[in-house]
Amino acid sequence: MSNTAIMIIHSQPFFRAGLRQALTELSHFEHIETTECTPGREGEIAIEQIAANSPAVVLIDVEYPSLGGLVLAKTVSRRFPGTKVIMLSTNPRDDCEELLEVIKTGAAAYLKTRDSTTKTLADTIERVCNGEYPINDCVWSKPEAALRVLRQFQDLITLGKTFEETISPLSTREKQILNYIADGNSNKQISAIFGVSEQTIKNHVSAILRKLNANDRAHAVYIAISKGLLPGKTYPYVN
């Protein structure tokens, strides 16, 4: 794990300090370096600090109701594939639109601060570090949101380009890995199956996302299934 394991990005120093203190008080986080960072006017400070420190996980505020944090999250996901993004929202409502926008950023997790304890956040961080994508739990627990996500992904595929123009062929190993992802396996579980390092699997997953022009793992699975790249597989909530 990198020297700076966790970076808390928030415009309010009080919030950053409080969250950092809460995490460091947990026994399994006391020896993990956690840093604070202001995003900067256009997110430039955060990007500079991420480039310099290569954190494993960044916590980014959605910035409800402006949703300004989404732009930063999308930039981090695209420029730093080794850094996973967890989005935090102060939105008092269950907002399907906000969830959809967070999914588009490629974030690994999405937490509503009103419903989350320090332990919830700590567990989410650990899951993300293990290669899981807890954001999928948010999607599949809400059938309406899941259906809308799938429809938007389908629109992205057909918008202005043919399938052949938007993707590159997958290797046999990449198809095998994508098949295991479709079954719900994390990077850690897949690495054990193939007997290779977790980093090797992460590299394959990054290549899969790039070749399929996918936003995240769920999007990649949907594209592959809808185009017959994973025979026999079906996707939830697809009629």
pLDDT digits (tens, 9 = 90+) for 165-207: 445 678 888 889 999 998 888 889 999 999 999 889 988 888 8
> Which range among 48-57, 89-98, 112-121 has the greatest average pLDDT?
48-57
Predicted confidence at residue 85, as pLDDT, reads 94
- Tell me which residue of 8, 17, 82 sits closest to 46, measured CA to CA: 8
Predicted confidence at residue 42, as pLDDT, reads 80
Tens-digit pLDDT profile for residues 57-91: 999 998 876 777 888 998 898 888 889 999 999 88
When pLDDT is cut at 50, 70 and 90, the band that residue 155 belongs to is low
C-alpha 129, offset from chain centre: 11
Every domain of the chain with CATH number 1.10.10.10 lies at 144-226
Predicted confidence at residue 45, as pLDDT, reads 92
Identify the CATH class of 6-141.
alpha beta
Predicted confidence at residue 153, as pLDDT, reads 59
Residue 95 has pLDDT above 80, yes or no: no
Collapsing DSSP to helix, strand or coil, 157 comes out as: helix
Please determine, looking at this structure, whether the domain spanning 144-226 carries the CATH number 1.10.10.10: yes
**What's the mean pLDDT in 49-63?**
91
Predicted confidence at residue 93, as pLDDT, reads 80
Predicted confidence at residue 141, as pLDDT, reads 67
Predicted confidence at residue 7, as pLDDT, reads 94
Q: How far is CA 152 from CA 101, 127, 135, 145, 156, in A?
A: 11, 27, 17, 11, 6
Q: How far is CA 105 from CA 60, 78, 91, in A?
A: 11, 9, 17
Which position has the higher pLDDT, 225 or 14?
14
Every domain of the chain with CATH number 3.40.50.2300 lies at 6-141
Does pTM top 0.85 for this prediction? no
Predicted confidence at residue 83, as pLDDT, reads 92
Q: What distance in Å separates the CA atoms of residue 107 and residue 239, rounded to the nearest whole number? A: 27
Residue 239 has pLDDT above 70, yes or no: no
Tens-digit pLDDT profile for residues 14-39: 999 998 888 888 867 767 888 889 99
Taking a C-beta distance cutoff of 8 angstroms, is the pair 125, 97 a contact?
no
When pLDDT is cut at 50, 70 and 90, the band that residue 51 belongs to is very high
Residue type, 157: I
When pLDDT is cut at 50, 70 and 90, the band that residue 223 belongs to is confident
What is the chain's Cα-based Rg?
18
Q: What distance in Å separates the CA atoms of residue 209 and residue 25, rounded to the nearest whole number? A: 36
Question: In the chain, how long is the greatest CA-to-CA distance?
Answer: 52
